[in-house]
Structure formats: structure tokens, C-alpha cells
Amino acid sequence: MINLANILLYASAEQPVETRSWWDDPTVIYFAIFIGIAIASWAVSYSLKRKFAKYSEEPIRYTGKEVAEKMLHEHGIDDVKVTCIAGQLTDHYNPLTKTVNLSEDVYNKATVAAAAVAAHECGHAVQHQQAYAPLKMRSALVPVVSFSSSIVTWVILAGLLMVNQLGTTLLLVGICLYGAITLFTFITLPVEINASQRAVNWLEESGVVDREKKEMAVSALRSAAYTYVIAALSALATLLYYIMIFMRRRE
Ligand SMILES: [Zn+2]
């Protein structure tokens, strides 16, 4: 979320010329917040990689494919296919094609890490089957967010560069577009956390993992959830920063 637009924003935001201390300047505070988020984001992704590497060494009886098929079957879901896709960390559930798509490592390997990811993606399939409200809201927002994401940077940049009424209006439009993106990142949180809860509970109940290995799966999926928390906080900080610039413009 810390993108080109933000860097240009720091450069273009008007600095107060009066004798205020640097800590009174919101731009400095926001700059510190963004650096904090960047560091937290790095730490979370480092810890996530380490945990998945560690739990990829913990063997279990079933491959990711088998775990997914078993979990779907035990939830009475027979119309969702489990497929193997290329890449790493590409695992996802597609509600349109009704497929649980697992990356090669997850699909083929019989480890705690693979089982955690496979069961998490099936957690989304179970949410879909049960019409889980946050998932429905999230799906409804997808087209709005993909439209917003494609133009928001340019709208805000244009708004910043034009120091006139049209520029101020464009900034406001940009804030609304970014607001939709921010809302999406927050609705994603319950969807992801709930899918992980369903995953770990089922993994233990079904006997796929024992208590000790369940804790490993919990730890891996918790790390994965932090990446969504960071993304949401980053989006919120960026949105508030745009709002601050807009308010200053109007002063
Ligand atoms: Zn997920």
C-alpha cells in the first residue's frame, strides 16, 4: 500500500512555515506511521516464511489434496473440485468455478503446513456453502475494488497536482475510491480469521492432526492472518493521510 502515490504525496504536501515543532506536523507523524507499518509488514512476512518452512518439515498422514477432499466431503460439499495450480502461495478458493486451488507443494505434500493451507481454503468453501455474511459482502465488493484499484492512484495524483477546485474535487473522489479499498481490507479480516478457525477445528476433530500438530497449524495460520491485519492498517493509514491532505486543502 505504500506506493508511488504516497512517495509523491510526501513531496507535494504543503509544509507549514510557521514556528511549529516537527512533531506538530501531521506529515511527519504519518511518515513515522508508514515506516512503522513497513517494518511490521517485513517482520510478519519473515515470521510467516520461517513458520511455513518449519511446519513443512512436520509429516502427517494425508497430502494437502487428501485433506481438502476429506474436509469438503465431511461437510457434505460434493460439487467443489480440488485442483493443483502452479506457483507458491497461490492457494485460493474460487467461488465462481467452485474450485479449491492448491499450489503444487500444498497439493502434493503430507505436512502440517500443507494441511493448514488446504483446510483454510476449504474453510472458504464451507463459508460459501453456508452463505457466511462477511464472505458475501466481500464478494459483492470485488468488482468495486478492482475498478477503484485501477484508477485511484491517478485520480489522487491528478488531484494533488491541480491546485484548484477541480483538484480538490478529484482528491475527494480519490478518497471515496480509496475508502472502498480500505473497507474491503477490513471485511477480509473476519473472512480469513473464520476460515482459519474452521480449518484448525476440523483438522483436530477429524483426527487429521493431533493436539500438538493442531497448535502448529494454529501458529502458521495466525501468522498468515497478521499479513491481512497489516494490509488493513496500512490501507487505513493511507486513507487517513489522504483525508488529512484534503482537509488542509480546504483550510
Ligand atoms: Zn483465505
How far does residue 225's CA lie from ligand 1's centre (Å)?
A: 9
Residue 8 CA to ligand 1 center (angstroms) comes to 33
What is the rounded average pLDDT of the residues 2-31? 57
CA of 195 to the centre of ligand 1 (A): 6
Enter the C-alpha cell of residue 100.
479449491
User: Which position among 121, 192, 205, 215 bears the catalytic label?
Assistant: 121
pLDDT surpassing 60 at residue 244: yes
19 falls in which pLDDT band (50, 70, 90)? low
SS3 state at 20: coil
More confident residue, 86 or 31: 86
Quick one: pLDDT band at residue 163, thresholds 50, 70, 90? confident
**Closest listed residue to residue 125, CA positions, set 86, 84, 69:** 69
How far is the centre of ligand 1, averaged over its atoms, from the C-alpha of 236 (Å)?
21
| pLDDT tens digits, one per residue of 47-72 | 999 999 999 999 999 999 999 999 99
Query: What is the reported pLDDT for 8?
Result: 46
Per DSSP, which regions of the chain are E strands? 81-85, 92-94, 99-103
pLDDT at 24: 62
How many angstroms is it from 132 CA to the middle of ligand 1?
Answer: 14
How far apart are the C-alpha atoms of 33 and 27, rounded to whole Å?
Answer: 10
Residue 172 Cα, ligand 1 centroid: separation in angstroms?
A: 32
Arithmetic mean of pLDDT over the chain = 90
- How many helices and strands, by DSSP H and E, does the chain display? 8, 3
Residue 29, pLDDT score: 82
CA distance 174 to 157: 9
**Whether residue 236 has pLDDT greater than 60:** yes
Beta-carbon neighbour count of residue 5 at 10 Å? 19
Query: Three-state DSSP class for 156?
Result: helix
pLDDT greater than 70 at residue 4? no
7 has a pLDDT exceeding 50: no
The answer to whether 248 and 16 have CB atoms below 8 angstroms apart is: no
Tens digits of per-residue pLDDT, 100-137?
Answer: 999 999 999 999 999 999 999 999 999 999 999 999 99
CA distance 214 to 219: 9
Mapped onto helix, strand or coil, the DSSP state of residue 178 is helix
Q: What is the mean pLDDT of residues 196-206?
A: 96
H or E segment and range at residue 45: helix 26-55
Residue 190 has pLDDT above 70, yes or no: yes
- How far away, in angstroms, is 78 Cα from ligand 1 center? 20
pLDDT at 15 over 50: no
Measured over the CA atoms of residue 27, residue 33, residue 37 and residue 40, the dihedral's sign is positive
Instruction: Answer yes or no: 14 catalytic.
Output: no
